[in-house]
Amino acid sequence: MNPARRCSALLNQLCSRGGPTARGRFSPGPVSNPAGRRFSGAGGRQMGVDGTRPPLTPNGTSARTAATVCPMGGSSSRRLFGTLTQSLNSPTLAQQDLYREESPEQDLDRDLTGTDPDQLLRECQHALQRRPARLRRDLVQPGGTAPCCHEHNPSIRVLQWNILAQALGEGKDGFIRCPLDALNWQERKYLILEEIVTHRPDILCLQEVDHFYDTFEPIMTSLGYHGSFLPKPWSPCLDVEQNNGPDGCALFYRSSRFSLQAVSHLRLSAMMLPTNQVAIVQTLGCRATGRRLCVAVTHLKARSGWERLRSAQGADLLQSLRRITSRGGGQSEAASASVPLVVCGDFNAEPSEDVYRRFSSSPLGLNSAYKLLSSDGQTEPAYTTWKIRPSGESCSTLDYIWYSHDALRVDRLLNIPTEEQIGPDRLPSYHYPSDHLSLLCDISFREEPHGLSVTAALDQ
């Protein structure tokens, strides 16, 4: 069955199943996802360099399989999903080679919009009416920065978030102070969507996405975004009995704001050996300014004891980013200069780790946006994740938005909730759908030296 027909079949199944109480899980069985890959558990496979099993074979064969699409919930959601059929017929679904470089899509300028974001926000609020209202977080201006309001150089809103894979939240992570019903996907997904739609980013970088094809891709496409998804070669979600497929990274951009120049899907290496962590890199053309922007999303190896591996993964990613951003691509001399860079991700590393030092001292000239919230502009927030597990309480800064400080400026940042706002049971909770906080910043291009412009180099 071709990808488009498979998506239609899945959408029909999606809309025909599921009410407010449906759990939306399939029992293990040989069901394929929209991209035609099987999601399977492991049976005696050799462990990899980072302590994980090796990736699936191209045919996806294994001891057990548990792929699923999960319905959005009640009748209002089924009505919403009924408008999304055309968005599922996307070239992304037909990807065969995960770790590759893509040419720009040929049909990205078509009108992909079809869902009113205000209507979707109302649907989210209706679905969440039994929960406490989402706590407001304010956008603040970094000290000493004048707001950018030039009509020809509007700010670009970037949202970074580890949204917590559903299979991990319910099946492995052990959030002992979080009520089980707060983790119910039938409501938690609306809390995630509410956060995204409220802020309406131009660029959205997500980690731990295990509901890409049935939730995030169709909804974001209907809102006018184009997205890429790259699963981990061997996702820990697959060890959960009733999973929804592997988790991975997703990167969306608003197609009315950007044109796609190129995409690279990377599997990160360490000591010249492939690991279980990945990255997506997109080179975008800004329609408002005519300038290019390179955006990357990644999720490095978790847990203590793997600091050297994270450092090696970071070094590998930086090397790839130097190669990608320094390409001339046959453009003019102005366009062949290094492309400004934004790197988002859950690095699973505190600022004291070597991988953090690698990024802060890289020849790419990167700075961490959230340092600008501090009084001296040099200190990261006290936490971006705060959770309680059986092993104890963990309060850490692991998530970052890196940017080229010579070419880009940070205009505003979404503030970090206080300890009182987070609450004694920490994350996740009824207020917060993930164990990580979302990070958001508005960035803009700095003036180019000598007044150079690459507008002519971009296809408007």
- Domains for the chain: give ranges and CATH numbers: 117-448 (3.60.10.10)
Long-range contacts (CB closer than 8 Å, 24 or more residues apart) made by 328-333: 329/261, 329/262, 331/454, 331/457, 332/454, 332/456, 332/457
> Which residues touch 433 (CB under 8 Å, ≥6 apart)?
163, 164, 188, 189, 191, 192, 195
- pLDDT the model gives residue 330: 37
Q: 101 φ, ψ to 5°?
A: -115, 135
> Which residues touch 283 (CB under 8 Å, ≥6 apart)?
260, 261, 262, 263, 292, 293, 294, 324, 325, 339
Residue 53 has pLDDT above 90, yes or no: no
Task: Answer with the residue of higher pLDDT: 226 or 101.
Answer: 226
- The tokens describing 327, both together, are 């390409």
Lowest mean pLDDT among 17-26, 96-105, 343-352: 17-26
- pLDDT the model gives residue 27: 31
Element counts in the chain: helices (H) and strands (E) = 9, 16
Distances in Å between the Cα of 223 and the Cα atoms of 215, 220, 291 are 12, 5, 24
Cβ pair 231, 246 in contact under 8 A:
yes
State which amino acid sits at residue 191. L
- pLDDT the model gives residue 13: 42
Distance CA 293, CA 259 (A): 10
Long-range contacts (CB closer than 8 Å, 24 or more residues apart) made by 129-134: 130/187, 131/187, 131/191, 131/430, 131/431, 132/430, 132/431, 134/191, 134/194, 134/195, 134/198, 134/431
Number of neighbouring beta carbons within 10 Å of residue 307: 17
Candidates 121, 251, 140; CA nearest to 192 is 121
Beta bridge partners of residue 399, listed in sequence order:
346
Q: What is the pLDDT of residues 261-292, one digit of tens each?
A: 999 999 999 999 999 999 999 999 999 999 99
Distance CA 246, CA 39 (A): 7
Distance CA 217, CA 226 (A): 8
State which amino acid sits at residue 153. N
- The tokens describing 458, both together, are 């971009």
The distance in angstroms from the start CA to the end CA of the chain is 36
For 169-208, b where at least 16 C-beta lie within 10 A, e where not — what string? bbbebebeebeeebbbbbbbbbbbbbbbbeeebbbbbbbb
Q: How many alpha carbons lie under 13 Å from residue 352 in its C-beta half-sphere?
A: 3
Candidates 237, 214, 190, 194; CA nearest to 24 is 214
> Which residues touch 369 (CB under 8 Å, ≥6 apart)?
400, 401, 402, 403, 410, 413, 439, 441, 443
Lowest mean pLDDT among 135-139, 330-334, 403-407: 330-334
- The tokens describing 98, both together, are 């995960």
DSSP code for 43: S
- pLDDT the model gives residue 134: 79
pTM score, whole prediction: 0.79
> Which residues touch 69 (CB under 8 Å, ≥6 apart)?
10, 13, 14, 24, 33, 213, 214, 244
Residue range 199-204: average pLDDT? 98
Name the band, by pLDDT with cuts 50, 70 and 90, for residue 6.
very low
Residue 199 has pLDDT above 80, yes or no: yes
State which amino acid sits at residue 64. R
